[in-house]
Amino acid sequence: MNAFSSLLKRDLRLAFRQGSDSVMVIVFFIVVVVLFPLSIGPEQKILARISAGVIWVAALLAAMLSMDRLFAADYEDGSLDLLVISPHPTEILVLAKVLAHWLTTGLPLIIVSPLLGVFLYLQADGFWVMIMSLLLGTPILSLIGAIGAALTLGARRSGVLISLLILPLFIPVLIFGVSAVDAALMGLPTRPQLLILGAFLLFATALSPWASAAALRQAVE
């Protein structure tokens, strides 16, 4: 537990002092969303209809953008070797790094998302559900992304490769995240979709540290 919190603190401190990653992710998120009204046209009805999907896809791509740096910096400067050979279980360390990644990229995305909802004329009923679905969904992105980031350490063109490996696995999250918001807009119950997202989150929390730790071990071998 001690190792968990100290690694978490270290990663957060690094992120805050360097500062560029979170800002970059948020700016990317906003720019991608802004492209849609410009390309589709400023019609309020169409934009309101697609707003949830656009925000979700943009959040997914923004999370993707920072994913390949999750372990790469530690891999390059050698601290990953030390983390893996330390007496603490690698799974716990992976969880700490994933949590730090989510706090520095996923959480800012959620905070900005209502603003983007306003840009895209998202109706008032959808806001809370969108925030809820992103709250449940973005940690899944970080967890699954960790597997891809660990697998592609040291690969050629790892940035492209990780998107190819991980984006298909994000499809279910995307489907349920967007359908929760759509259900809210149509006045239907959103509980089922949110519960399924919660189940995905629990499942990913259980599975991802094992797979990522296995991948890390073979990467530093």
Partner 1 sequence: MHRLANPTRFLRLCNMVKPWAMAITLLCLATGLYFSLFKSPPDYQQSDTVRIMYVHVPAAWMAMFCYSAMALSSAAALIWGHLVAQLIAKATAPIGASFTFLALITGSLWGKPMWGTWWVWDARLTSVLILFFLYLGFIVLHDAFDDTSRGARAASILAVVGAVNVPIIKFSVDWWNTLHQPASVVKLDGPAIHSSMLVPLLLMACGYTGFYLWMLIVRMRAEFNSNKIRAIRIRQANR
Residue type (1 letter), 67: M
In angstroms, give the least distance from the CB of 220 to partner 1. 11
Q: Find the farthest-apart pair of alpha carbons in the chain and give their distance in angstroms, rounded.
A: 58
In angstroms, give the least distance from the CB of 106 to partner 1. 21
Distances (CA, A) of 187 to 149, 158, 161: 39, 43, 40
- Kindly list the residues in this chain that would bind partner 1 in the complex (CB under 8 A): 147, 151-152, 154-158, 161, 164-165, 167-169, 171, 175, 207, 211, 214-215, 218-219
In angstroms, give the least distance from the CB of 168 to partner 1. 4
CB closer to partner 1, 82 vs 155 = 155
**Residue 119 in contact with residue 37, Cβ under 8 Å?**
yes
- What is the rounded CA–CA span in Å between residue 150 and residue 215? 5
CB closer to partner 1, 109 vs 216 = 216
CB closer to partner 1, 131 vs 214 = 214
Q: Supply 194's token pair.
A: 């949110």
Question: What's the angle, vertex CA 54, arms to CA 152 and CA 136, rounded to 5?
Answer: 65
CB closer to partner 1, 31 vs 206 = 206
Name residue, tokens 């992710």. 25
In angstroms, give the least distance from the CB of 188 to partner 1. 15
Distances (CA, A) of 198 to 60, 99, 129, 192, 210: 17, 16, 13, 10, 19
CB closer to partner 1, 151 vs 181 = 151
Taking Cα atoms as reference points, which of 127, 83, 89, 104 lies closest to residue 21? 104
In angstroms, give the least distance from the CB of 156 to partner 1. 6
- Which of the 8 DSSP states describes residue 170? H
In angstroms, give the least distance from the CB of 16 to partner 1. 32
CB closer to partner 1, 25 vs 178 = 178
